[in-house]
Amino acid sequence: MNQFWSKITQNYSTIQKTFLFLISIAILVTFFPKEAKFKYDYTRDRPWLHNDLIAPFDLGILKPADELEKEKQEIIQNNELFFEFDLAVYENKRSEFSKNLDKAWVSKYGSINVKENLKRSTSQTGLDILSLIYTRGVLQSVSEIDNKSDDHNIMILIDNTAERAKLSDFYTIHNAYSEMLKKVEEAEFADKELLIKTLEEAITQNVLFNQRVTLAEVENKLNNISTTRGMVQEGERIISKGEVVTLAKYQILESLKKEYQDRASDNSNFRLILLGQVILVSVSMLVLILFLYVFRKEIFEDTKKIVLILLTIILMVFVTSLTMKFGEGYIYIIPLCIVPIIISVFFDTRVALYVFIITIILIGFLVPNSFQFVFTQLIVGIITIFSIINLTRRSQFLVTSLIIFVSYSVIYTGLNLLQQGNFDEIRLINYAMFGGSALLILLSYPIIYLFEKIFGLVTDVTLLELSDTNSKLLRKLSMKAPGTFQHSLQVANLAEECIQIIGGNALLTRTGALYHDIGKMDNPRYFIENQLTGVNPHDELTYEESASIIIEHVTKGIEEAKKNNIPDQIIDFIRTHHGTRKVDYFYIMQKRENPDETIDERLFSYPGHVPFSKETSVVMMADSVEAASRSLKVVDEKSISTLVDKIIDKQVESGQFSNSNITLRDITQIRKILKRKLMNIYHLRIEYPG
C-alpha cells in the first residue's frame, strides 16, 4: 500500500496532466452534435470532385429554403379569416331595446300607456329593424380586413359549421346605422325621433372575428406544406465525377445530406458517432501534448499554463457550438482570433499558431463547409499573429481589429468570386458580421487581464506598466532611496543588454532589475549608495547587526512588493538577486577581528533562493558587478576586467547558477558585455598597443 501511494506521489504531476487532458476531451466532445456527418464536401457551381454518387435509397428532393419561405408567406398573406355569428347578441339587444324604449316613452309622455297604439307601432318597427340588421349581421372591424375589397371571401362559423361569404354580405357598423335611419324614415306610424335614439344604443357588431380558429387554420396549412418536390429513386445516379454542381444538383445533394443524417440518428448509431468524436478529439489533444512536450517543455511542466491553454480552446469551441444553435449564418461573428492573441501574449507566436490550428480543426467538425472555414480562419489567424508580435501598447488592439476585418472581407470576397464567378452571391450582412467579430476582438484585453489575475502570469503590457519609472512603487524608491534607484536603473540597463544577447525575456529582466532592491526603502541610509553626508550608521553597530540590516532588504522587498500587488515573476528577482551568498564585507571583518571565535555563518548569509532562470541569473551578475564597480579606486580596463571575472567566478563556484538553465557560453558572453558596458559607463577608451 505504501509503495502504491509512493508511486502516486512520485507521478503526481503526470497524473494531474493526464486528468486535465481527459477532462478537456470529455468537455469538448459534449459540444459536438451527436449525428453522423455527411462525408462529401461540395460547392455550388463547382465541379463534383468525388466519384460518381449513386442514391443509396429513395429520396425526396427538398425544396430550396427561399421557395418554402415564399409559400409560407403566400399562405399567411392569403389566409382565410374566420368570423363567428354571435346569436346571443340579437336576443340581448332586442330585450335591451324594449326596456330602453319603455323608459324613453315614460320620460317623454309621462306614462307607458299614453298613445298605446303609437307606442306599439314604434316598438314593432324597431324590433323589425333590429331583426333585419342582425339577421344579415354586423361585421366586426378588425385590421385583418382593412383595404380588402367587398368581394373578399371570409369564413362564417354558425354552430360549428363554416360557410364561405363575402364582405359585402354583411353590414359594417356604419352601414348598419345608415340602414337603420333609412328604415325609420320609411316607417309610416312611429315616433321616429324616439325610435332613432333607442335604436342607436341597440345596434352593435354580432359577426365577430375568431382569431383562434384563424391562426389554427394558418398553422395547419403551414404544417401541411410539402417540403419536397420530386423524387430520386434508389440506384439512380445523382451526380458524376467532374460534373458541375448546378442549383438543381445542389438541392438534391442537400436533400441527401439531410436524409442521411436523419437516418443515421434514427439507426441508433449514437455510440459509434460518440466513439469517432472521442478518437478525433483525443488525437488533436495528443498532437498538442506532443508539441508542448517536445518544443515547449517549460510550458508542459507548468500546470497553470496548460490549464490556460485548454481553457482557451474549450471556451472558443463552446461559444461556437452555442452560436451554431442560433443558425449557421452567425459563424463569422465569433471572434476566433482572440485565441492567437491571448496565447501569443502569454507565451509566444509559435505556441499561439499551434494552439489556434488545433482550435479551428476542432471547430471544423461543428461547422458547414469545413475546408472554407478552416482556410479563412487560418489565414486571418496568421495575419493576426503578425500584427501583435510586438504588443507594447493598448492601441495595437484597435489596429489588430481593423486588420482582422479587412482580412476576413478580402478572403470572403475572393472565395465567392472563385466559387460563383460574380458578385451576386456576396451578402453585405457577412461584412457586418466580420465587423462585429473584429470589434469583439477588443474583449481580448479584459480577458488577458482576467487570466493574469487567475493564473498569476504576466504579459508584456503589464511589464511595460510596471517598468515605467513614474509608477507608484518606483517613484517612492526614487524619493526615499535615490542612490538605490540610480543603481537599479544601471542594473536594468546592464541586464537588459546581456539577456538580449544570450536570449531571454528582455522586458521581464529589465522590470525585475528595477524592483530588485525596493526593500532598501525602509533603511536607505544603511546602504552606501544613499549615504550623501559621509556619515556611515554602520559605524555604531556590530558586524552582526549590520549584516542583519543588509540581509533584511530582501525580505522587506518581498513584503513591499506583495503589499503593492507586484506579480510573483517580479518578486522572484527580489528573492534571488543575492542567492544564498554571504554579506562578504561584514563577514570578513567579523572573522578578522575575532579570529578565535566560531562564527555562525547563517547570520551573515542571505536566506533567499538561487536564481532559477537566465533572467534572474543575469540580474544577479549585473547587480553584483555594478555595485562593486563603484568601490574601484583605479578605474581602467584591467581593473574592470579583473573585477567582473572575480565576482562571476565566485558566484559560479558557490553554485548560484546550479538551478538555472544558463550555460557557460552564456556566462562568457555576459562577462564580455558587462566589461564593455562598464567601460562605457566610466568613459574609458580601449588601450591601443604601442
Per-residue pLDDT tens for 611-659?
A: 999 999 999 999 999 988 888 888 888 888 999 999 999 999 989 999 9
pLDDT digit string, tens, across residues 463-500: 888 888 888 899 999 999 999 899 999 999 999 999 99
pLDDT digit string, tens, across residues 361-410: 999 888 877 888 899 999 999 999 998 877 666 678 888 999 999 999 99
The predicted structure's pLDDT at residue 257 = 78
686, pLDDT greater than 50:
no
Examine the pLDDT at 277 and tell me if it is beyond 70. Answer: yes
pLDDT for residue 101: 83
Task: Report whether CATH 1.10.246 matches the domain 460-681.
Answer: no
pLDDT tier at 264 (50, 70, 90 boundaries)?
low
Q: What is the pLDDT of residue 689?
A: 47
Contact 435, 405 (CB under 8 A): yes
Contact of 353 with 340, CB cutoff 8 Å: yes
* pLDDT number for residue 389: 78
pLDDT surpasses 50 at 688: no
The winner for highest mean pLDDT among 76-85, 235-244, 354-363, 582-591 is 354-363
340/139 Cα distance (integer angstroms): 66
**CA nearest to 353, candidates 377, 373, 321, 317:** 377
Decide if 63 contacts 247 (C-beta within 8 A): no
Q: Is the pLDDT of residue 601 over 50?
A: yes
- pLDDT at residue 685, rounded to an integer: 46
What mean pLDDT value characterizes the chain? 85
When pLDDT is averaged across residues 298-326 and rounded to a whole number, the result is: 91
**Over 70: is that where the pLDDT of 56 sits?**
yes
Whether residue 448 has pLDDT greater than 50: yes
Strand order in the sheet with 161-166: 161-166, 153-158, 82-85, 207-209
With vertex at residue 639, the alpha carbon angle to CA 633 and CA 645, rounded to the nearest 5 degrees, is 130
pLDDT at position 310: 95
More confidently predicted of 340 and 582: 340
Q: Dihedral angle at the C-alpha atoms of 231, 233, 236, 239, nearest 10 degrees?
A: 30
For the chain, the distance separating the N- and C-terminal CA atoms, rounded to the nearest angstrom, is 78
Report how far residue 309's alpha carbon sits from residue 382's, in angstroms, rounded to the nearest whole number: 18
DSSP state of 47: B
**pLDDT tens digits, residue range 413-437?**
888 887 666 676 677 888 899 999 9
Kindly tell me if the per-residue pLDDT of 2 is higher than 90.
no
Between strands 53-54 and 153-158, the pairing is unpaired
pLDDT at 687 over 50: no
Q: Closest Cα partner for 513 from 499, 527, 503, 525?
A: 499
The number of beta carbons lying within 10 Å of the beta carbon of residue 87 is: 12
Please check the confidence at residue 127 and state whether its pLDDT lies above 60.
yes
At 162 the three-state DSSP class reads: strand
The three cell numbers of residue 503 are 536570449
Long-range CB contact pairs, 456-459, < 8 A, 24+: 456/304, 456/567, 456/568, 457/304, 457/305, 457/308, 457/346, 457/567, 457/569, 458/508, 458/567, 458/569, 458/570, 459/345, 459/346, 459/391
Which DSSP category does 79 fall into? P
Q: Using pLDDT thresholds of 50, 70 and 90, give the confidence band for residue 546.
A: confident
Is residue 249 scored above 90 in pLDDT?
A: no
Residues of the chain above pLDDT 90, percent: 30
Domains of the chain: which residue ranges? 10-25+270-455, 37-63+226-266, 77-221, 460-681
